[in-house]
Amino acid sequence: MPRPVVAAVLTVLGGFLIVLGGVVVLLVGAIFALFGFLSGFFLLGLVVGLLTILVGILMLAAPSLHVVWGALAIVLAIASLVLALGGFLLGFFLTTIGGLIAIRWHPPKPAFLTVEGHRVGPPS
């Protein structure tokens, strides 16, 4: 079964960068915690990055839902701008491009064999 491999790879790479941005935000949160300001907000960037990686893996595991995974990747990329520094912006761009490719991806149409053994495309 064909899969949107390019979209998944870009989404997973973007997800790793978003996780790195989330770790930076988490470290900033740890510094704030030293001064008595505790918040779960700083952990959300890490969660967004991990969810982005999961969406990229699901693009390969369930390619029939490529539009859903692409839309989720774009939503998570936008959320990463606020929560994880956008994965240093590069993660945001990679994930957004991966999501757009996943939405636009179409499985290839199978070729048919005629009685004479010639390959022809499917009827339009």
Is it the case that residue 112 has pLDDT exceeding 90? no
Tell me if residue 3 falls in helix, strand or coil: coil
Summarised one tens digit per residue, pLDDT across range 25-38 is 999 999 988 998 88
Confidence of residue 114 (pLDDT cuts 50, 70, 90): low
> In 10 A of CB 118, how many CB atoms?
9
Asked if residues 46 and 19 have their Cβ atoms less than 8 Å apart, the reply is: yes
Confidence of residue 113 (pLDDT cuts 50, 70, 90): low
Asked if residues 7 and 78 have their Cβ atoms less than 8 Å apart, the reply is: no
Nearest to 81 by CA among 93, 68, 98, 97: 93
Summarised one tens digit per residue, pLDDT across range 10-59 is 999 999 999 999 999 999 999 988 998 888 888 999 999 999 999 999 99
